[in-house]
Amino acid sequence: MLSKKSFDRFIVPSAVAAAWLAITGSAAAQNEPQAWYTTEQATAGAQQARTNCEPCHGAELLGGDAPALSGPELFANWPTAHSIYAFFSVEMPPFSPGGLGEKAYVEILAYILSLNGYPAGSEELTADPALLEEIRLQPQTP
Protein backbone atom coordinates (compact mmCIF):
# COMPACT_ATOMS: atom_id res chain seq x y z
CA MET A 1 0.00 0.00 0.00
CA LEU A 2 1.28 3.48 -0.86
CA SER A 3 1.82 6.03 1.83
CA LYS A 4 0.06 9.39 1.59
CA LYS A 5 3.40 11.01 0.74
CA SER A 6 4.12 8.55 -2.10
CA PHE A 7 0.56 8.93 -3.36
CA ASP A 8 0.88 12.73 -3.45
CA ARG A 9 4.31 12.58 -5.12
CA PHE A 10 3.58 10.00 -7.81
CA ILE A 11 -0.09 9.21 -8.38
CA VAL A 12 -1.55 12.74 -8.29
CA PRO A 13 0.99 14.26 -10.73
CA SER A 14 0.63 11.22 -13.02
CA ALA A 15 -3.15 11.54 -13.03
CA VAL A 16 -2.91 15.27 -13.75
CA ALA A 17 -0.46 14.63 -16.61
CA ALA A 18 -2.70 11.92 -18.08
CA ALA A 19 -5.73 14.20 -17.88
CA TRP A 20 -3.77 17.02 -19.55
CA LEU A 21 -2.68 14.76 -22.41
CA ALA A 22 -6.23 13.52 -22.89
CA ILE A 23 -7.60 17.06 -23.05
CA THR A 24 -4.92 18.55 -25.30
CA GLY A 25 -4.73 15.46 -27.48
CA SER A 26 -8.45 15.45 -28.17
CA ALA A 27 -8.44 19.22 -28.76
CA ALA A 28 -5.66 18.81 -31.31
CA ALA A 29 -7.61 16.06 -33.04
CA GLN A 30 -10.66 18.32 -33.23
CA ASN A 31 -8.58 21.02 -34.93
CA GLU A 32 -7.36 18.67 -37.66
CA PRO A 33 -9.57 18.89 -40.74
CA GLN A 34 -11.58 15.79 -41.55
CA ALA A 35 -10.66 13.93 -44.73
CA TRP A 36 -13.88 13.12 -46.60
CA TYR A 37 -12.74 11.82 -50.02
CA THR A 38 -9.81 10.21 -51.79
CA THR A 39 -7.30 11.84 -54.12
CA GLU A 40 -8.49 9.51 -56.87
CA GLN A 41 -12.05 10.77 -56.47
CA ALA A 42 -10.96 14.41 -56.69
CA THR A 43 -8.83 13.69 -59.77
CA ALA A 44 -11.74 11.96 -61.49
CA GLY A 45 -14.00 14.81 -60.39
CA ALA A 46 -11.65 17.36 -61.98
CA GLN A 47 -11.97 15.51 -65.28
CA GLN A 48 -15.77 15.41 -64.95
CA ALA A 49 -15.83 19.12 -64.05
CA ARG A 50 -13.79 20.11 -67.11
CA THR A 51 -16.47 18.65 -69.35
CA ASN A 52 -19.64 19.20 -67.37
CA CYS A 53 -19.09 22.19 -65.05
CA GLU A 54 -16.34 24.49 -66.34
CA PRO A 55 -18.26 25.60 -69.46
CA CYS A 56 -20.57 27.57 -67.13
CA HIS A 57 -18.71 27.77 -63.79
CA GLY A 58 -15.33 28.69 -65.28
CA ALA A 59 -11.86 27.21 -64.99
CA GLU A 60 -11.30 25.57 -61.62
CA LEU A 61 -14.93 26.49 -60.91
CA LEU A 62 -13.97 30.06 -60.01
CA GLY A 63 -17.11 31.46 -61.61
CA GLY A 64 -18.17 32.43 -65.10
CA ASP A 65 -21.69 32.48 -66.46
CA ALA A 66 -22.68 30.54 -63.33
CA PRO A 67 -21.64 31.10 -59.68
CA ALA A 68 -18.25 30.04 -58.37
CA LEU A 69 -18.07 26.66 -56.68
CA SER A 70 -15.02 27.61 -54.68
CA GLY A 71 -14.25 30.25 -52.11
CA PRO A 72 -16.61 32.73 -50.45
CA GLU A 73 -19.36 32.38 -53.04
CA LEU A 74 -19.64 28.63 -52.37
CA PHE A 75 -19.68 29.14 -48.60
CA ALA A 76 -22.32 31.88 -48.86
CA ASN A 77 -24.66 29.77 -50.99
CA TRP A 78 -24.31 26.24 -49.64
CA PRO A 79 -24.11 25.39 -45.92
CA THR A 80 -23.33 21.68 -46.33
CA ALA A 81 -22.05 19.23 -48.91
CA HIS A 82 -25.50 17.65 -48.84
CA SER A 83 -27.19 20.91 -49.82
CA ILE A 84 -25.06 21.42 -52.93
CA TYR A 85 -25.04 17.71 -53.85
CA ALA A 86 -28.85 17.47 -53.54
CA PHE A 87 -29.10 20.38 -55.99
CA PHE A 88 -26.49 19.60 -58.60
CA SER A 89 -27.07 15.84 -58.73
CA VAL A 90 -30.63 16.56 -59.90
CA GLU A 91 -30.34 19.89 -61.75
CA MET A 92 -26.92 19.80 -63.40
CA PRO A 93 -25.51 19.95 -65.97
CA PRO A 94 -28.08 22.09 -67.78
CA PHE A 95 -27.81 20.01 -70.96
CA SER A 96 -28.52 16.74 -69.06
CA PRO A 97 -29.97 17.40 -65.58
CA GLY A 98 -29.22 14.48 -63.26
CA GLY A 99 -27.75 12.54 -66.17
CA LEU A 100 -24.18 11.95 -65.01
CA GLY A 101 -24.79 9.18 -62.49
CA GLU A 102 -24.09 9.03 -58.78
CA LYS A 103 -20.40 8.16 -59.11
CA ALA A 104 -19.68 11.19 -61.32
CA TYR A 105 -21.58 13.56 -59.03
CA VAL A 106 -19.73 12.25 -55.95
CA GLU A 107 -16.41 12.69 -57.79
CA ILE A 108 -17.34 16.26 -58.73
CA LEU A 109 -18.20 16.94 -55.09
CA ALA A 110 -14.81 15.53 -54.06
CA TYR A 111 -13.18 17.92 -56.54
CA ILE A 112 -15.16 20.85 -55.12
CA LEU A 113 -14.04 19.90 -51.61
CA SER A 114 -10.42 19.69 -52.79
CA LEU A 115 -10.62 23.13 -54.44
CA ASN A 116 -11.85 24.52 -51.13
CA GLY A 117 -9.02 23.18 -48.98
CA TYR A 118 -10.57 20.00 -47.62
CA PRO A 119 -7.85 17.33 -47.37
CA ALA A 120 -8.00 13.97 -49.11
CA GLY A 121 -7.84 10.78 -47.10
CA SER A 122 -8.15 7.03 -47.45
CA GLU A 123 -11.95 6.74 -47.24
CA GLU A 124 -14.07 7.27 -50.33
CA LEU A 125 -16.80 9.88 -50.27
CA THR A 126 -20.30 8.49 -50.80
CA ALA A 127 -23.66 10.00 -51.63
CA ASP A 128 -25.03 9.11 -48.19
CA PRO A 129 -27.16 12.13 -47.17
CA ALA A 130 -26.32 11.78 -43.46
CA LEU A 131 -22.59 11.78 -44.24
CA LEU A 132 -22.85 14.72 -46.63
CA GLU A 133 -24.86 16.67 -44.05
CA GLU A 134 -21.87 16.36 -41.66
CA ILE A 135 -19.61 18.21 -44.11
CA ARG A 136 -20.03 21.89 -43.32
CA LEU A 137 -18.93 24.09 -46.21
CA GLN A 138 -16.70 26.73 -44.67
CA PRO A 139 -13.18 28.05 -45.16
CA GLN A 140 -10.54 25.50 -44.20
CA THR A 141 -7.42 26.42 -42.30
CA PRO A 142 -4.18 24.72 -43.31
In tens, the pLDDT along 86-101 reads 999 999 999 999 999 9
Given a contact cutoff of 8 angstroms between Cβ atoms, the answer to whether 113 and 91 are in contact is no
- Residue 114 maps to which CATH number? 1.10.760.10
pLDDT tens sequence across 15-59: 544 544 454 444 444 567 799 999 999 999 999 999 999 999 999
Whether 111 contacts 40, CB under 8 Å: no
Q: How far apart are CA 89 and CA 9, in angstroms?
A: 62
Same-domain pairing of 81 and 117: yes
Of residues 4 and 142, the one with the higher pLDDT is 142
- The DSSP symbol for 104 reads H
Residue 142 placed within a domain = no
Count up the domains in the chain and report the number.
Answer: 2
Q: How confident is the model at residue 137 (pLDDT cuts 50, 70, 90)?
A: very high
pLDDT reported for residue 141: 81
Instruction: Of 89, 105, 90, give the one whose Cα is nearest residue 45.
Output: 105
Predicted TM-score (pTM) of this structure: 0.78
Residues 57 and 126 in one domain: yes
Is position 63 within any domain?
A: yes
Same domain, 4 and 60: no
* Residues spanned by the domain of 103: 39-134
Inside any domain, residue 141: no
Among 136, 6, 141, which residue's Cα sits nearest to residue 79?
136
Give the model confidence (pLDDT) of 124-136 as tens digits. 999 999 999 999 9
Q: What are all long-range contacts of 24-31, with beta carbons under 8 Å and residues at least 24 apart?
A: none
Who contacts 103 (Cβ-Cβ below 8 Å, separation ≥6)? none
